[in-house]
Amino acid sequence: MIESEHEHVTGETSAAPLTGHRLIADNCRRLDGSPGVYRMLDAQGAVLYVGKARNLRARVSSYARPSGHSARIARMIRDTASMMFLTTRTETEALLLEQNLIKQLKPRYNVLLRDDKSFPNILVAKSHPFAQIKKHRGAKSEPGDYYGPFASAGAVNRTLNQLQRVFLLRSCTDATFSSRTRPCLLHQIKRCSAPCVGRIELSDYRALVADAERFLQGKSTAVQATLAAEMAEAAAAMEYERAAALRDRIKALTSVQSVQAINPKGVAEADVIALHMEGGQACVQVFFIRGNQSWGNRDFYPRLNGAESPDEVMEAFLGQFYDGKVPPRLILLSHGFEETDLMTQLLSDRAGRRVVLGVPRRGEKADLVENALRNARESLARRLAESAAQHKLLEGLADAFDLPVVPRRIEIYDNSHIQGSAAVGGMVVAGPEGWIKNQYRKFNIKGTEITPGDDLGMMREVLTRRFARLLKDNPDRATEAWPDLLLIDGGPTQVAAVSGILADLGVQDVPIIGVAKGQDRDHGKEEFHRPGMRPFALPMNHPVLYFIQRLRDEAHRWAIGTHRARRSKQAMANPLDEIAGIGAARKRALLSHFGSAKAVARAGLTDLQAVEGISAAMARTIHDHFHGQG
């Protein structure tokens, strides 16, 4: 796809290196009018910005002027110490490469979509004669029909619940299906037709699957008409029990139709994308419409630098949002942008069919966009209000503890264990926008020299691992990665220990606050400890006190949750999993023959060889594993 595979870096010469607009002007002399992608880098080699151009020389030359730029672009030009270029055959290829590089490099001055995880789908899995209906996320590699995307797991679960009520499809795994000897609870509450025990014929079950798929395609009226005709036939044939069951399904389907929020009649499949910008921030609302039904909405808050136009934000959002996602046939936008045709071509290439981008001005489509835009305005207003309150608390925290700066990144640490077993350390992160949950970390305690219950030893391991990694990955202490404040659960002993740990690593400028329970260990009487300073307390009703309590409690919740997950995993561990060559089938055969892993461990060679699928060599491997030989 890329015509020119070579990249060249400019800006490094034996004389005084050029920077800023002079460097860019120097680069322009060696560029031609080819389409391609350019990168601006700072003195440390970090990528500041990635851009694409129909004509590289013309586009890059716009940065060579010494004045006339916005404050954001002026800062970017000033920090530019080198540039990289890569030419492509077409502008569409340049756009695709630009989006890939932005996602990979996350440049400081690009608009960035921070939440790009995949969306869930509903899968009608057809690898089994009796199709299974379930939630699916990720690559669409399993045989079957996929419906989506849905805005959230909650939206999928609600739809699956509706499908169970109306169409009685199974949701159990194939293994559970094959092992059933009597109907499960879902059949008792009329949510499954119990094909696992033969309560429905294969042909009748396939008819239910077909009806469910028609419903997911938006043909619920036709499904309802078919059910009504079947009910009338059953009643005429005096099959009253079947007629009553069909009546219940019709009532369930009618209930589903009545609670659908937005069901556009003239839009069968579309994503509705609306952008609202205010106060240097942006909110993008995406509504998913499939089969003339609304399948939920999701809000996004792209990272801005404060001077972007709505056109720029919308274009960047579309390119990143549909990276790895199949776009629908129609995308309705609140804002257009100059290169809509180019984006249309890129999305059509990704989908393998024609995709249409439009900014509707009237009618039902315009109403859908206006609804999404209203949600974007309201969501951003709530976020700005929460951000203002959070910033005020951070300022109060800085004042109360005489911090050198208002913290933008607070790391809170806690440990959890039961008498030293399944010990974990937890770290949660908070900043001006609240919890930064994608930055939470867990640390499985690995140190063999740590005695059970040694909280200080655990804290030493956690902080050593955390800051050793920080020093390796971010030696220049980038503000996004390095904490402005450490908050730990503990008193003077813990604070002194943490201070010593950081000093050993050469980190002596990160403030540390220890939160101790205080008098009678009462909530609200916390004492705060700092290295080399006297402890003090905040008034009972002080908002900063409540803020610190929330920070500590979140760290405690996270540590306990990760500890329970590790403990549960250890409890579920099977010693057979540790034996090379023992897969799922052999493990199942051994457990079925002997009844438990403990019985397998006690078995002799002859008994092991009697198990189907266990050869003499494998029996020897199993026997030696449990008896310390080999």
Alpha helices in 406-542 (DSSP H): 455-473, 492-504
Higher pLDDT, 234 or 49: 49
Q: Which of 444, 407, 411 is nearest to 427 (CA)?
A: 411
Q: Is the dihedral of CA 423, 429, 434, 435 positive or negative?
A: negative
Q: What type of residue is 624?
A: D
Boundary residue ending a domain (381, 398, 430): 381
Average pLDDT over residues 380-401: 89
Distance between CA atoms of 370 and 364, rounded to whole angstroms?
A: 10
**Comparing C-alpha atoms, which of 335, 336, 337, 317 is closest to residue 327?**
317
Sign of the CA dihedral with 102 first, then 103, 107, and 111 last: positive
Question: Would you say the C-alpha torsion 62, 63, 68, 70 has a positive or negative sign?
Answer: positive
Share of the chain above pLDDT 90, in %: 37
Indicate the pLDDT class of residue 118, thresholds 50, 70 and 90: confident
Q: Does the pLDDT value for residue 577 go beyond 60?
A: yes
- Calculate the average pLDDT of the chain: 85
Give the pLDDT mean for 478-485. Answer: 79
Residue 30 maps to which CATH number? 3.40.1440.10
Residue 30 amino acid letter: R
Q: Which of 304, 328, 390, 372 is nearest to 114 (CA)?
A: 304
Q: Which residues pair with 52 in a beta bridge?
A: 37
Mean pLDDT of 21-30: 91
Q: Are 421 and 567 in contact (CB under 8 A)?
A: yes
Domain-located, residue 596: yes
554-578: average pLDDT: 78
CA distance 559 to 413: 8
Interstrand relation of 410-418 and 485-489 (parallel, antiparallel or unpaired): parallel
Tell me the average pLDDT across 104-116: 84
CA 128 from chain centre, in angstroms, equals 31
pLDDT of residue 458: 86
Residue 388 included in any domain: no
Does residue 35 have a pLDDT over 90?
yes
Quick one: 431 and 512 in the same domain? yes
Tell me what pLDDT residue 28 has: 92
Residue 163: per-residue pLDDT: 80
For residue 84, being part of any structural domain is answered with yes
* Cβ neighbours, 10 Å, residue 45: 9
Q: Enter the tokens of residue 97.
A: 């490469």
Q: Say if residue 608 is in the same domain as residue 495.
A: no
3-class secondary structure, 77? helix
Give Rg (Cα) of the chain: 31
* Lowest-confidence pick of 92-96, 383-387, 473-477, 524-528: 473-477
pLDDT exceeding 70 applies to what percent of the chain? 89
Q: Across-strand partners of 8?
A: 85
Residue 10's pLDDT is 54
Neighbouring CB atoms inside 10 A of 57's CB total 15
d(CA 83, CA 64): 13
pLDDT at position 570 over 70: no
Domain that holds residue 17: 8-105
- The per-residue pLDDT for range 275-301, each reduced to its tens digit, is 999 888 899 999 999 888 888 888 999
Same domain assignment for residues 374 and 484: no
Residues 147, 71, single domain; the answer is no
> Euclidean distance between the first and final Cα of the chain, in Å?
54
Q: Is residue 55 predicted with pLDDT exceeding 70?
A: yes
Q: Which residues pair with 132 in a beta bridge?
A: 125
CB of 83 within 8 A of CB of 9? yes
Distance CA 319, CA 607 (A): 62
Pair (227, 149) in one structural domain: yes
Sign of the Cα torsion 502, 508, 511, 512 reads positive
The predicted-structure confidence for 610-620, as pLDDT tens digits, reads as follows 888 899 889 88
Looking at the fold, whether 315 and 279 belong to one and the same domain comes out as yes
What is the pLDDT averaged over residues 306-335? 91
Predicted pLDDT of residue 519? 60
What is the rounded distance in angstroms from the CA atom of residue 469 to the CA atom of residue 466? 5
Cβ neighbours of 238 (radius 10 Å): 8
Residue 625, pLDDT above cutoff 90: no
Contact predicate 526/535, CB 8 Å: no
Q: What is the CATH number of the domain that holds 509?
A: 3.30.420.340
Q: Which of 23, 20, 98 is nearest to 53 (CA)?
A: 98
The reply to whether 432 and 561 lie within a common domain is yes
Round to whole Å and give the CA distance between 3 and 131: 47
- At 184-225, the pLDDT tens digits run 999 988 889 999 999 999 998 998 898 888 878 877 666 777
Identity of the residue numbered 350: R
Let me know whether 519 and 488 are in one domain. yes
Give pLDDT, residue 573: 63
| Bridge-based pairing state of the strands 512-516 and 485-489 | parallel
- Kindly state the tokens that stand for 358: 């439009």
Q: What is the mean pLDDT of residues 131-158?
A: 86
Lowest-confidence pick of 140-154, 166-180, 193-207, 574-588: 574-588
State the pTM of this model: 0.70
pLDDT at position 630, please? 47
Residues 77 and 126 in one domain: no
Q: What's the rounded mean pLDDT across residues 162-191?
A: 87
> Is residue 160 situated within a structural domain?
yes
From CA 547, how far away is CA 434, in angstroms rounded?
11
What's CA 237's distance to the chain center, in Å?
54
Domain stop point among 524, 551, 570: 570
What is the CATH number for 276? 3.30.420
CA distance 429 to 278: 26
Residue with the bigger pLDDT between 331 and 571: it is 331
* pLDDT tens readout for residues 398-433: 999 999 999 999 999 998 876 656 788 899 999 988
What pLDDT, on the 0 to 100 scale, is given for residue 522? 56
Is there a domain that residue 158 lies in? Answer: yes
Query: What pLDDT shows up at residue 5?
Result: 41
The model's confidence at residue 524, banded by pLDDT at 50, 70 and 90, is low
Determine if residue 422 is left, alpha or beta; phi over 0 gives left, psi from -120 to 50 gives alpha, anything else beta. Answer: left
The predicted pLDDT at position 101 comes to 92
Domain boundary at 225, 259, 293, which?
259
d(CA 500, CA 482): 18
| Three-state secondary-structure class, residue 542 | coil
Give the total number of structural domains in the chain.
Answer: 5
Does residue 41 belong to any structural domain of this protein? yes
Residue 393 lies in a domain: no
Residue 477 and residue 372 share a domain:
no
Same domain, residue pair 523 and 599: no
**Same structural domain, 287 and 244:** no
Q: Which helix (H) or strand (E) holds 332?
A: strand 330-333
Domain containing residue 620: CATH number: 1.10.150.20
**Contact criterion met (CB below 8 Å) for 39 and 24:** no
Does residue 100 form part of some domain?
Answer: yes
The amino acid present at 556, given as its one-letter code, is H
Buried b (16+ CB within 10 A) or exposed e, 126-160: eeeebbbbbbbeeeeeeebbebbbbbeeebbebbb
Please compute the mean of the pLDDT values over residues 139-161 and round it to a whole number: 84
Most confident among 14-28, 340-354, 582-596 (mean pLDDT): 340-354
